[in-house]
Amino acid sequence: AHQPVSVYRTGAWERLRLWRRRNPVVASLSLFLAVSLLTGSVVSTLFGLAASREAKRANTEADNAIRERTKAVELSQANATLALKEKSAREKAVLNAERADAKTDEARRHLYSTHMNLVNRNWEIPHVGLVLDLLKKTQPQPGETDLRSFEWHFWDRLCDSFLLNLKGHTSAVWSVAFSRDGKRLASAGDDKTVKVWDVMSGQEMLTLKGHTGEVTSVTFSPDGTRLASASGDQTVKVWEVAGGQEKFTLKGHTDRIMSVAFSADGKRLASASSDQTVKLWDATSGHETLTLKGHTGVVTSVAFSADGKRLASASHDRTVKVWDATSGQETLTLKGHIGVVTSVSFSPDGKRLASASDDWTVKVWDATTGQGTLALKGHTNAVTCVAFSPDGKRLASAGWDWTVKVWDATTGQETMTLKGHTGVVTSFSFSADGKRLASASGDWTVKVWDATNGQEPLTLKGHTRAVWSVTFCTDGKRLASASDDGTVKLWDATSGQETLTLKGHTVTVNSVSFSADGKRLASASVDQTVKVWDTTSGQETLTLKGHNGSVTSVAFCADGKWLASASHDGTVKVWDATSGQETLTLEGHSLLVTSVAFSPDGKRLASASWDRTVKVWDTTSGQETLTLKGHSREVWSVAFSPDGKRLASASWDATVKVWDATSGQEALTLKGHINAVSSVAFSPDGKRLASASWDGTVRVWDARPWTPELRAEREALSLIHWLRDQDKPQSEWLDAIAADQTLTEPVRQRALQFARDWK
């Protein structure tokens, strides 16, 4: 109104009030909004504070959870570490246990090998008692691995090669004698008695007493009605067998009488004495008729030949002398025992002479030439007496081990020896069933033998030069042979017919080997090659070249995938048998390699060399794992046993050695060949080992444990050989076997079978 007014600067609250009055709606909304915001802020703050508290609590719980989880992880890690330590400790304990077991096993194997070598040495001495002790020590205890193999069973068989063991004397037995019918056996003892035994049952039938000193000798009269006995009391007594009554006493020697013998007609008696003489007596009157002088020591034994024309005597001077029983002239002196000769006996046919010695052996000699034919070992002390059975099939011996032993007089404890080749035997092979054995020879032939009885049923002719190798196919129906004539021939193993001639090599073929399926044949030659042939068509499928010397040996592995060859270049090569590619060359021998053989599982390869060693190789890496040393001359052949545990080697030193194929320890040395051994092989069951030699023979070394069936087989075979040696026609064999009342039924049946099958 154009009037003066009072003016002042308004504050913020005043302006806000005025603005609110002018703008009530906006102010209300603003106020509402402000209050809402404030309320929201308060609420949010409250919620924030609550959330913060919850977050803090959650964080605390999370921290706690993390700490718990960390503790759990740390505990888990600690437990895991502990578990690992425990596992490591367990593994270490197991490893240590395995190492300890391995060391124990290695020690046991080494000890076993040592024992087997001691067995070999003690057998050679011979000290059979120690041999038996060592064999007993090597028997496994419950839970132990049985380390025994071919060599143990070989020795065990030799120590148990007698047929009967008669016990009854209370001290040393000095003499034994069979009755003429072979049903009774008389023995004289240090216990001053004479005993009469039933030979079949081993039962004691009679005991004769009367001598005042040890009874040193006993003999039956030819008719079996009388017994004569000699004694340390310087007398000879004659007894009636029926009642055991003493008939008369002979006196004349000036020292103890060591032996007494009837002549074949029963009219004369001979006695041997410590006074170094032999006296002959009239057996009816008791008068002395002749005194024989010539020995330089105590005369221990005397025996008439079957015809009464010769007289044999044994002495402390280690000799056996043969005399003319009529004139008293000395005709032969036999030397060979390394100890005192204690007893002597003629075989019934007069062709053989047996002697016993305190060197613990019995020897059998050719009574005409004086050549030794058998050496029987088994007594565990001095052998004091020996006697043939009336049929000549058995031999009885007794000694200071207080036992009487009865032996097979034809084979003794010798291995089967196959004779028939007229040249060196270069190679041989068992059939898959082990019943046949084929041999190759420098006489240009291959022979097939019955591996049970040694009979030669087939001779294969066709090669025009020496045959160097022979092998059976796995089916047993075919044979392959390799020759100096440059050919390989395949034969029907049953009929002996030649079915194929394989030509391709330009010179000598040294070795042949069938694949496991029989569809392929490998051959090795002097032309430095290996050839692989199809055995059905005869076609050459591969020629392997790589050696720079004559290839001496070839062998397929068991699955037929690989082929190994040995050469004069001193190497062994392994080839892929399908492609012919060379996969390994094994070098290590210092001279030519003569033979090669895969282990049954194909993981190892053995090679033999002129460097006198056998080497064993790993077929995967080609690494040399063993070198076997022991032969004194070149090694010609090597073979694994079917279980792969043993390795056999043949050498120019005339021996066969058997080795532990794991440790390389020598387990056995077999002696018997008189010339180089050219080939060696185990039978399919691993219980026999055969060796071929330049002495013209094949020997089969037997390690089969004795069973009643095997004993019956041996006795039956001995009888067949005896019938053959007596020149009895084969048509009479069956009747002779049926009529022999001394045979047990198992022996009779086996002998009849042999007689029917013999060719």
List, for residues 13-44, the tens digit of each pLDDT value.
Answer: 677 677 667 777 666 766 666 666 666 666 56
Phi, psi angles (nearest 5°) of residue 401: -85, 10
Global confidence as pTM: 0.66
Write down the H helix ranges in 615-682. none
Q: Does position 81 have pLDDT exceeding 90, yes or no?
A: no
Q: Does position 115 have pLDDT exceeding 90, yes or no?
A: no
* pLDDT recorded at residue 201: 64
* Whether the Cβ atoms of residue 592 and residue 570 lie closer than 8 Å to each other: yes
Q: Does position 413 have pLDDT exceeding 60, yes or no?
A: no
Instruction: Give, as one character, the DSSP assignment of residue 213.
Output: S
* pLDDT recorded at residue 573: 96
- As a whole number, mean pLDDT of residues 111-134 equals 82
Helix (H) or strand (E) holding 57: helix 24-124
* pLDDT recorded at residue 163: 57
* pLDDT recorded at residue 582: 94
Q: What is the pLDDT of residues 175-189, one digit of tens each?
A: 777 787 777 888 888
Residues 6+ apart with CB under 8 A from 375: 361, 362, 363, 364, 412
Helix (H) or strand (E) holding 18: helix 12-22
Helix (H) or strand (E) holding 648: strand 646-651
3 state SS for 582-627: EEEEEECCCCCEEEEEECCCCCEEEEEECCCEEEEEECCCCCEEEE
Structure token digits, residue 553: 């040996």
* Whether the Cβ atoms of residue 688 and residue 153 lie closer than 8 Å to each other: no
* pLDDT recorded at residue 29: 67
Mean pLDDT lowest for which of 112-126, 516-530, 605-619? 112-126
Mean pLDDT lowest for which of 88-102, 301-315, 450-464, 736-750? 88-102
Q: Does position 160 have pLDDT exceeding 90, yes or no?
A: no
Structure token digits, residue 20: 């609110």
Q: Does position 692 have pLDDT exceeding 70, yes or no?
A: yes
Q: Does position 366 have pLDDT exceeding 50, yes or no?
A: yes
- As a whole number, mean pLDDT of residues 590-599 equals 95
Mean pLDDT lowest for which of 105-114, 248-257, 556-565, 569-578? 105-114
Q: Does position 162 have pLDDT exceeding 70, yes or no?
A: no
- As a whole number, mean pLDDT of residues 436-440 equals 89
In the chain, pLDDT over 90 holds for what percent of residues? 35
Phi, psi angles (nearest 5°) of residue 303: -155, 140
Where does 232-340 show beta strands of DSSP type E? Answer: 235-240, 246-251, 257-262, 268-273, 277-282, 288-293, 299-304, 310-315, 319-324, 330-335
- As a whole number, mean pLDDT of residues 158-187 equals 75
Mean pLDDT lowest for which of 361-365, 440-444, 453-457, 611-615? 453-457
* Whether the Cβ atoms of residue 516 and residue 558 lie closer than 8 Å to each other: yes
Q: Does position 412 have pLDDT exceeding 60, yes or no?
A: no
* pLDDT recorded at residue 44: 62
Give the residue carrying structure tokens 């392929």: 520
In the chain, pLDDT over 70 holds for what percent of residues? 91
* pLDDT recorded at residue 358: 85
Q: What is the pLDDT of residues 453-503, one digit of tens each?
A: 778 779 999 999 999 999 999 888 999 999 999 999 999 999 999 999 999
- As a whole number, mean pLDDT of residues 349-366 equals 88
* pLDDT recorded at residue 40: 61
Mean pLDDT lowest for which of 92-96, 277-281, 322-326? 92-96
Q: What is the pLDDT of residues 207-229, one digit of tens each?
A: 888 898 999 888 888 888 889 99
Q: Does position 65 have pLDDT exceeding 70, yes or no?
A: no
Task: Tell me the pLDDT band of 165, cut-offs 50, 70 and 90.
Answer: low
* pLDDT recorded at residue 486: 95
Give ∠ CA 373-449-644 in degrees, rounded to 5: 90
* pLDDT recorded at residue 488: 96
Is the model more confident about 402 or about 121? 121
Mean predicted lDDT score pLDDT of the chain: 85
Is the model more confident about 354 or about 167? 354
Q: Does position 303 have pLDDT exceeding 70, yes or no?
A: yes
The residues facing 450 across adjacent strands are: 436
Q: How far is CA 573 from CA 84, 159, 274, 338, 591, in A?
A: 47, 43, 69, 50, 15
Buried b or exposed e, range 483-510, using 16+ CB within 10 angstroms: bbbbbbbbbebeebebebebebbeebbb
* pLDDT recorded at residue 414: 44
SS3 (DSSP) at 408: strand
Question: Rounded to an integer, what distance in angstroms lies between the CA atom of residue 686 and that of residue 708?
Answer: 20
Structure token digits, residue 524: 């090795």
